[in-house]
Amino acid sequence: MSRLALAPMEGLADDVLRDVLTRAGAYDWCVTEFVRVSATVLPRSSFMRICPELGNASRTRAGTPVRIQLLGSDPDLLAANAAGLARLAPAGIDLNFGCPVPLVNRNRGGAALLDDPELLRRIAETVRQSVPAEIPVTAKMRLGIEDAARALDCARALEAGGVQELVVHARTRDDGYRPPARWDCVAPLREALRIPVIANGEVWTVADWRAIRAATGCADVMLGRGAVADPLLSRRIRAGEEGTETEADWEIVAGLIADFWAQVRRKVLPGQAPGRLKQWLVLMRRIYPQAETLFRALRELRRANAVDDVLRQKLPRSAFQT
């Protein structure tokens, strides 16, 4: 049976969106935004801030296991932080070798490490040795920096270091998020490794999910921005449904929007909340024309109270029923 995972998405998929998306559709696990490890052993509060689900047995309200992602380049420091995190009993610890952000890369984090397979192996090995065997240690990588020439070396190094699963985002760092994803480059990694390889990149529809599995040979797929654009995508995949989104779908999504907004209002300052909602709608309008209409109505608003009023006017009444 194919597994579905919800990707870590820095600056987008925080605990609120993870909560909403994992209740909208069934995921086998999800991964937090990265915790940057750069100079010290972080306190418990740093992990709890990025993953409040640790207070719920490392699960979302829907029961989806949440793995915490670490980003850094110092094997010993990463291992020390992983050991501290392990005391909070996370559902898993994931290592970030995929972030393409220039600021992160200039500080030797994320995808910038893909020029040094031996360093990847040492990071994986020291982290794995620092964490109890019952806590999975996994990794997510891109195909490389400029090209995919060393992708297999990096993947083998991570396997040798002890990671138990590897997610491969089928783009290089320099590809950013530009389509198309290089699904064909994942297949040789999946064929060469003994551990599960999970395919990731440019899956927006059920047809894309079928295509990435066919191109890579991977049984399992991680959904990223496609799951944000269509919160019902994982549900459609599970049901084998393909086709145009319906008005009934929008009613479900509208309820998710109302719930998301209520949670964001509680979490952040009123002046910050509108931007969070608009950020989600920008992606969602790719799938739902109703999201485009809602985004246009909210685009110029800066006050949370004004957003409250528009949502009451634009969303179906059923969206506010609990």
The per-residue pLDDT for range 288-306, each reduced to its tens digit, is 999 999 999 999 999 999 9
Beta bridge partners, 6, equal 30, 223
Q: Give Cα separations from 195 to 159, 161, 318 (angstroms).
A: 7, 12, 45
The pLDDT of residue 241 is 78
Residue 102 — very low, low, confident or very high, per pLDDT cuts 50/70/90? confident
The pLDDT of residue 321 is 78
**C-beta of residue 88 within 8 angstroms of C-beta of residue 44:** yes
Long-range contacts of 290-298 (CB under 8 A, 24+ apart): 290/250, 290/253, 290/254, 291/253, 294/257, 298/274
Integer Cα distance of 18 and 320 in angstroms: 20
The pLDDT of residue 247 is 82
Integer Cα distance of 94 and 98 in angstroms: 11
Report the number of distinct structural domains present in the chain.
2
Q: Are residues 163 and 230 in the same domain?
A: yes
Residue 192, both tokens = 């060469």
The pLDDT of residue 244 is 67
Query: Residue 41's closest CA among 95, 86, 82?
Result: 82
| Active-site choice (30, 51, 99, 154) | 99
Residue 316, both tokens = 């179906």
Distance in Å from the first CA to the final CA of the chain: 33
- Expressed as residue numbers, the domain containing 255 is 247-320
Q: Are residues 139 and 251 in the same domain?
A: no
Kindly tell me if the per-residue pLDDT of 57 is higher than 90. Answer: yes
Q: Give CA torsion, residues 220, 234, 167, 229, to 10 deg.
A: 150
Residues of the chain with pLDDT > 90, as a percent, come to: 91
**What does the pLDDT average to over 114-134?**
98
Kindly tell me if the per-residue pLDDT of 52 is higher than 80. Answer: yes
Q: Are residues 188 and 89 in the same domain?
A: yes
Q: Are residues 98 and 166 in the same domain?
A: yes
Q: Are residues 184 and 281 in the same domain?
A: no
The pLDDT of residue 322 is 61
**What does the pLDDT average to over 61-83?**
98
Q: Are residues 85 and 188 in the same domain?
A: yes
Instruction: Give the helix/strand (H/E) hosting 141.
Output: strand 137-142
Q: Are residues 205 and 252 in the same domain?
A: no
Let me know if 99 is a catalytic residue: yes
The predicted-structure confidence for 224-280, as pLDDT tens digits, reads as follows 999 999 999 999 999 987 766 778 899 999 999 999 999 999 999 999 999 999 999
